Amino acid sequence: MIIAVDGPSAAGKGTLARGLAKALGYHFLDTGSLYRAVGLMMLRHGKVLDDAGAAAQFAATLDLTSIADGDLRNEDVAHAASRISVYPAVRANLLQFQRDFARRKPGAVLDGRDIGTVVCPDADLKFFVTAATDVRARRRFDELKGQGGDVTYEAVLDDVMARDERDASRATAPTAMADDAIMIDTSELTADEVLKAVLDVVREHAKG
């Protein structure tokens, strides 16, 4: 069983996907961490983010330890990830890893931008998780503040909008809802409510 969870940044897809995997006893892959790991390597090696060749090389040599780095959640890494994720060679080099992961038994939940459309178009269930832009910016702002970050809401809102625009308008595998995906708007819902609603859908599906 493969479950795809896609959507823009800070919509709650990571929380949902992780919760689903835990409740079902499935494997979980946050595919954004792969792009973040490549972005982080670019920054650590002093590469300019325009260097598509270097990014593709890092993507080709990625291993599971690089997606557990504590610095992956930083905002400059998120920005770098969004920048390098436009390069087709980077995406191509990360594709097989994601597809192999998706086949793990007894099942896998993958969250990202293009899981239902490109990585696993044959996923058993696809969800597209979204929320109003100001709600997503507020959540990201609260998260960064909670970590002691020195940020303003306006700066976070600008970042969220710039990243959405880049991720949704790139030529290769942009953020997109698959035709057969179920849309979940989390603007007015708590994380528990989202998880419960989606688990109901998964259990209905399992009954056939």
Q: Which residues bind ligand DC (CB under 6 A)?
A: 9, 31-32, 35-36, 78, 81-82, 85, 112-114, 163, 167
CA 20 from centroid of its chain's CA atoms: 15
Question: Measured from the CB atom, is 25 or 63 closer to ligand DC?
Answer: 63
Nearer to ligand DC, 70 or 208 (CB): 70
Whichever of 9 and 186 has its CB closer to ligand DC, that residue is: 9
Least CB distance from residue 148 to ligand DC, whole Å? 20
Nearer to ligand DC, 77 or 206 (CB): 77
| Residue 147, C-beta contacts closer than 8 angstroms, at least 6 positions apart | none
CB of 207 to ligand DC, least distance (A): 30
Smallest distance from ligand DC to CB 77, Å: 8
Q: Residue 115's Cα: distance from chain center in Å?
A: 9
- Return d(Cα 127, Cα 83) in angstroms, integer: 25
The least distance separating ligand DC from the CB of residue 179, rounded to whole angstroms, comes to 18
C-alpha distances in Å from residue 163, one per residue of 92, 158, 173, 184, 187: 21, 9, 15, 20, 19
CB of 204 to ligand DC, least distance (A): 26
CA 135 to chain centre: 17
C-alpha 14: how far from chain center: 7
Closest distance between ligand DC and the C-beta of residue 28, in Å? 13
In degrees and rounded to multiples of 5, residue 185 shows phi and psi of: -95, 115
- The alpha carbon dihedral of 55, 161, 74, 3 has a sign of negative
CB 117 within 8 A of CB 98: no
For ligand DC, give the closer residue by CB, 31 or 195.
Answer: 31
In terms of residues, how long is the chain? 208
- What is the helix (H) or strand (E) element at residue 193, kind and residue range? helix 191-207
Q: Which is nearer to ligand DC, 113 or 126 (CB)?
A: 113
